[in-house]
Amino acid sequence: MIPLKDDNPTRTFPFINWALIIINVAVFFYQVQLPPHAAKAFLMANATVPMRIPAFLAGYLGFKMAFYPLFTSMFLHGGLMHLLGNMLFLYVFGDNVEDYFGHLGYLIFYLFCGVGSGFIHVLFNLNSSLPAIGASGAISGVMGAYLVLYPRANVLMLFFIFLIPIPAVFVLGYWFVLQFVEGIGALGATATGGVAFWAHIGGFLIGVGIAWVVKRR
C-alpha cells in the first residue's frame, strides 16, 4: 500500500518540509552526476558507518569522520526509488507535523530524529563497516509524531488499483509493526546492507516520545 495524501488540512504553508524535499532531491542529483570514483568517495565521506564510532572511542579516528555523517547521511540516497519513497512519505505526513510544531521547531525535531535514529542504528550494528544513508530515520520520526498528533486523520492509500481511505493510526501502526518484526528478525545476523530497520524503529519512537510530550504540554 502506498500513501498518496491525507485529509488533514494545515493552517500554514510547510516551508521547511518543502525545503527538506528540495534539498534531498538536489543532493541526489549532485550524487548521480559525479564520476563513479568521486561518487564512491562522496558516499563514504558522508554516510554513517557504524564501526567508525567505536574506532573514535578507541582513539583510532577523528570526531568529524565518526560523527558528522550522522547528519550528512540524512540527505543521501542509494537510488531513485529510495529517494522517491522517502520523499513521498515526507510529503504526506510532514506538512501537518510542521504545522503543529512551527517551522523552526519542526526543523529541529526533524534533524534530532535523524541523528537520533542514526545513533540507534549504530548501537545495533557496532561492528558494521557498511555505509548507511537516507532520510528514512528522520521521516520515521515525522511518522511517529503524526501518529500521536493526528491518529484519526484519514490517509488515502493506493492498494493495487484501489484508492482506500484508512485512519492514520492503522496505517502508521501497521508500518511500525512491520519494521519492528523485521528488526527483531535481524538481531544477531550479519549486516549485509538493505533496510536499516532499527533506524526506522528508533526514529519512530523518538518522534512518538517528543510529540507525546509536546501534546501533553
Average of pLDDT values for 45-65? 93
| pLDDT above 60 (res 192) | no
Give the whole-number percent of the chain exceeding pLDDT 70. 97
DSSP track, 98-117 = HHHH-HHHHHHHHHHHHHHH
Average of pLDDT values for 79-105? 96
Cβ burial, residue 107 (10 Å; 0-12/13-18/19+): middle
The confidence score (pLDDT) of residue 160 equals 85
Query: Residue 101's domain spans which residues?
Result: 2-216
CA distance 107 to 165: 29
Number of domains in the chain: 1
| pLDDT above 70 (res 116) | yes
Taking the model in full, what pTM does it have?
Answer: 0.94
Residue 97 cell numbers, joined: 507535523
Average of pLDDT values for 120-149? 95
Average of pLDDT values for 17-27? 98
Backbone phi and psi for residue 166, each to the nearest 5 degrees, phi listed first:
-130, 135
The confidence score (pLDDT) of residue 161 equals 86
Which CATH number is 37's domain given? 1.20.1540.10
pLDDT tens for 58-84 read 999 999 999 999 999 999 999 999 999
